[in-house]
Amino acid sequence: MASVTYEHVTKRYSADVTAIRDLSLQVRDTEFMVLVGPSGCGKSTALRMLAGLEEITAGEIRIGDRVVNDIPARERDIAMVFQSYALYPHMSVYDNMAFGLKMRGTPKAQIEQKVRSAARMLGLEQLLNRKPRQLSGGQRQRVALGRAIVRNPQVFLLDEPLSNLDAQLRVETRINLQRLHRDLGATFIYVTHDQVEAMTMGDRIAVLRDGVLQQVASPRDIYDHPANMYVAGFIGSPKMNFIPVSIQGSTVRASGFQLELPRPPGIEKGTLGIRPEDLTEKPRDGMPTVDLKVEVLEVLGSDQYLYGKVGGDDLTARVDPQLKVFVGDTVKLALNADRIHLFDETEKAVL
Ligand SMILES: Nc1ncnc2c1ncn2[C@@H]1O[C@H](COP(=O)(O)OP(=O)(O)OP(=O)(O)O)[C@@H](O)[C@H]1O
Ligand SMILES: [Mg+2]
């Protein structure tokens, strides 16, 4: 059984670089936890401390009940797939995948069975005799993944393992990883800057910004109830619309429209958050409406995105792809007021 606990963990590389600040996070046994955030926010650092590859400046990391701060990497029963999948260049794909097991004295037949099964899962069966330099970036990344799979650890750490795969292979591998997680019954901690990966794979998502944890929640909760504007803007595509508003009692005024809240939020200024799909071309009774002057449109087959202006503010709407709209049109859209968000001047969600 392997839960993972970060308790008030800080990592300072130097006086002016603090990569992780006071991180407290609990990953449950067998959970699929995704750490997400933009480049440089400290995701790899968080994993490397857990793997034992980086000293912890302050705080405590536990695997199960065991404090691992001073336990060497090889005794942590963790397998990490690195962002830069360091393979042994002189070894074949097969030997790269088998190496860890050989070092542990695993019987040859068992190694063969595990390597072949992982190779099948990852579509590497035809490549087992090649050397890493004879592989594409995506193929190398899959070998790195295979090397972790065959070790069957309690905790898998995956640092952007899909970043070098093409779009189709990324979706396939994403689904395979979820199967793998279910089949192995291991704890997964998965790092990505891609919010789609986070939303689709995570049991829960932890959003990091500049080394500071912003929110931990299930994909649905984080999407429906982002704790602040940063999380709201990071999760979801196209991005949530942010519109500056003034508030009097329960009346919210933007430059191009106004709406009534069920009760006064208790602030006078703030930012309204509207997801593009919460604007609809099919109004129901009582829904506030906005007039969107369309500047750009994107038809994606299953979706249509309208980009334009409401009053002086930019707004993006996701509408029915069959709706006939042209650039320059003004489209009346209804706002699903039950799903709006409101942020105060510190960018914290108040609604
Ligand atoms: N060995 C190091 N020495 C000094 N600073 C470092 C070191 N490793 C990382 N950093 C700094 O720590 C911060 C966090 O880096 P980290 O690699 O954890 O980010 P990341 O979220 O994994 O980014 P990416 O998505 O680009 O991989 C960055 O500002 C980075 O420059
Ligand atoms: Mg990284």
Q: Let me know whether 107 and 136 are in one domain.
A: yes
Does one domain contain both 192 and 256? no
Residue 330 falls within a domain, yes or no? Answer: yes
**Is 217 in the same domain as 305?**
no
Atom of ligand 1 nearest to the CA of 41: 21
CA of 228 to the centre of ligand 2 (A): 24
Residue 348 domain-assigned? no
Domain holding 255, by residue range, is 241-343
124: in domain: yes
Q: What is the 3-state composition of the chain as percent helix, strand, coil, each rounded to the nearest 5?
A: 30, 35, 35
pLDDT of 282 reads 86
Residue 142 inside a domain? The answer is yes
Residue 349 falls within a domain, yes or no? no
- Does any domain span residue 350? no
**pLDDT for 285:** 81
- The residues facing 280 across adjacent strands are 334
Tell me the Ramachandran region of residue 328: left when phi exceeds 0, alpha when psi lies from -120 to 50, beta otherwise: left
Between CA 321 and CA 299 the distance in angstroms is 6
Distance (Å) from CA 192 to ligand 2 centroid: 8
pLDDT of residue 183: 82
Residue entry with tokens 């990883």:
177
Residues 54 and 129 in one domain: yes
Query: Do 229 and 304 fall within a single domain?
Result: no
Give the CATH number, domain containing residue 314.
2.40.50.140
Q: Domain boundary at 214, 234, 254, which?
A: 234
Give the CATH number of the domain where residue 34 resides.
Answer: 3.40.50.300
Question: How many domains does one find in the chain?
Answer: 2
Cα–Cα distance measured from residue 173 to residue 179, given in angstroms and rounded to the nearest whole number: 10
**CA-CA distance, 181 to 187, in Å (whole number)?**
8
Task: Tell me: do 40 and 136 sit in the same domain.
Answer: yes
Q: Domain check: are 230 and 261 in the same one?
A: no
Q: Is 23 in the pocket of ligand 1 (CB under 6 A)?
A: no
Residue ending a domain, among 234, 258, 289, is 234
Check if the beta carbon of residue 140 is closer than 8 Å to that of residue 156: no
> Which one, of 286, 280, 296, lies nearest residue 329 by Cα?
296
Instruction: Indicate whether 151 and 260 sit together in one domain.
Output: no
DSSP assignment of 156-171 equals EEEESTTTTS-HHHHH
Q: What is the mean pLDDT of each run of 10 residues along the chain (351 residues)?
A: 94 97 98 96 96 96 96 91 85 96 94 94 92 89 90 91 83 86 91 94 97 98 98 96 97 95 95 97 87 96 96 96 95 94 98 85
Whether 351 is covered by a domain: the verdict is no
Nearest to 139 by CA among 194, 92, 200, 73: 92
The whole-number pLDDT of residue 141 equals: 84
Residue 178 and residue 278 in one domain: no
Residue 348 pLDDT: 98
State whether 182 and 304 are in the same domain.
Answer: no
Name the closest-CA residue to atom 30, ligand 1.
40
**Are 181 and 72 in the same domain?**
yes
Q: What is the Å distance from ligand 2's center to 109 Cα?
A: 36
Q: Which of 234, 265, 290 is the last residue of a domain?
A: 234
Are 32 and 135 part of one and the same domain? Answer: yes
Strand ranges inside 137-253, DSSP E: 155-159, 187-192, 204-209, 212-217, 241-248, 251-253
In a domain, 39, yes or no: yes
